[in-house]
Amino acid sequence: MDFFYFLVTGSPDYDNVYHLNFFENCGGFSHGIIAALIIGLIISAAFYFGCCNSRTSQKSANIGMWFIFMAIAALIGYFYADFVIMGETNAVDNTGIFREYSFYKANEDYYTEQSRVQFENEQLLDELFNKKGEIQAALDRGEDVRFDFDLTTALLAALFFFFPWSVLLKRFTINGKAVPFLKP
């Protein structure tokens, strides 16, 4: 899964401890790809079955409207990745959707687990605590890998999933068979 997120893994901020723990061990990359797949499907289905599937929808079954829906898929993918997957540090409810499966929660859980395992090694615990704080502060400022992850998820939702779903769904509509192109 990390192949799709080369912007994240290639970032100089990518750390092989906390980032690797969340994105690969806790499934951050998988959640992003599954979310992008579902967003691409829902938005393309909304376009083809909402805008292109009635006798009165001829005006909205065009390439311009299709690009608007593609942009909507990208925006939803970006904000879903930012708020749900990356999460919020100031979330009041620690069991809510904006905190429970977030990068912040995974960092805290990893630090707590390592504190139990490495309780005798004070230097390692100090390094882990400092790195956890640095990552959290950078994420709060919108830095670290937040933008790279959000952008990649948005591009996946729009280009890799909205587009193929469009090609599959367009043949089941009345007016959308030629959008975004005539064949297949």
* 47 lies in some domain: yes
Concatenated DSSP letters for 83-146?
A: IIII--TT-S-TTSHHHHTSHHHHHHHHHHHHHHHSTT-HHHHHHHHHHHHHHHHHHHTT-TTH
* 176 lies in some domain: no
Within 10 angstroms of residue 30's Cβ, the number of other Cβ atoms is: 12
| Residue in the block written with tokens 């956890």 | 132
* 177 lies in some domain: no
175 contact partners, CB below 8 Å, separation of at least 6? 52, 53, 54, 57, 58, 61
* 6 lies in some domain: no
* 180 lies in some domain: no
Q: How many domains does the chain have?
A: 1
Element (H, E) at 153: helix 146-155
* 14 lies in some domain: no
Question: Residue 111's domain spans which residues?
Answer: 29-171
- Is the backbone peptide bond immediately before 180 cis, with ω within 30 degrees of 0? yes
Using CA atoms, how far apart are residues 131 and 18, in angstroms rounded to an integer? 8
Q: Please state the pTM of the whole predicted model.
A: 0.87
From the list 96, 3, 76, the residue with the least C-alpha distance to 36 is 76
* 160 lies in some domain: yes
* 50 lies in some domain: yes
CB 154 within 8 A of CB 81: yes
CB 8 within 8 A of CB 154: no
184 residues of the chain, pLDDT tens digit each: 667 888 898 888 888 888 888 888 888 999 999 999 999 999 999 999 988 887 777 788 899 999 999 999 999 999 999 988 888 776 555 666 667 778 888 888 888 888 888 777 788 888 888 888 888 888 888 888 889 999 999 999 999 999 999 999 998 988 888 899 877 6
